[in-house]
Amino acid sequence: MALVLTVRHPLRPLLSRATTRRLLTLSAVVAMGLVLASCGSGTPKTPASSHGISAPVITEHFTKLSCNHNNTVGLEGCAEGQLLSTDKRIDKEVKLLFSLVPTAQQKSLVTAESAFLKYRRATCEAYSDVYRGGSFAPVEYALCEVRMNEAQSTALHGYFRLAEEGASHGLTWP
């Protein structure tokens, strides 16, 4: 059974009409290719474990921009790189917790991670609304997601310490 946790990216900075048309055309071609190639992928999946549930994996739905500290689009790319890094760390942490806790707690963890992603999205949309219509809005959104991931990682580490106390084997936090 695969679990899908959808994370969407908010606004991109406004571009010229010509650039927007080119990007839309390119996006349509790429999207068609992805649809044909993936047939339903593009959202987080969880590989099935022996008891039917497995750790959720966060998948972002944006094409990562190049990091450049000299402009806002580049700053967004830098923040996206940080976000992808913290997403991977959370994925490792949740996978480790799945190996440590019983099935009933795994189901609760999946529910909690899904709720976290919804909360992260809503919170970061509110934070980035301060810059609504401006080119810095998507940068703030991505930076907010990084901050939220850092806080979630701290919370998961606390959960790990509690779960480890009852474990019969020793594991190391990532």
Residue boundaries of the structural domains of the chain: 6-165
pLDDT (0 to 100) of residue 52: 67
* Cβ atoms within 10 Å of 95's Cβ, excluding its own: 17
**pLDDT tens over the chain, length 174 residues:** 445 455 555 544 444 444 444 444 444 333 333 322 322 222 344 444 445 688 899 999 999 999 999 999 999 999 999 999 999 999 999 999 988 888 888 999 999 999 999 999 999 999 999 999 999 999 999 999 999 999 999 999 998 888 877 665 566 667
pLDDT (0 to 100) of residue 11: 47
- The Cα–Cα gap between 174 and 157 comes to 9
Return the exposure string of 52-75: e unless at least 16 CB atoms fall within 10 Å of the residue's CB, then b.
ebbbbbbbbebeebeeeeeebbeb
pLDDT (0 to 100) of residue 99: 85
Of 58, 156, 30, the closest CA to residue 105 belongs to: 156
pLDDT (0 to 100) of residue 46: 44
pLDDT (0 to 100) of residue 167: 61
Of 53, 62, 164, the closest CA to residue 113 belongs to: 53
Residue with the two structure tokens 């609304």: 129
Residue with the two structure tokens 């993936």: 38
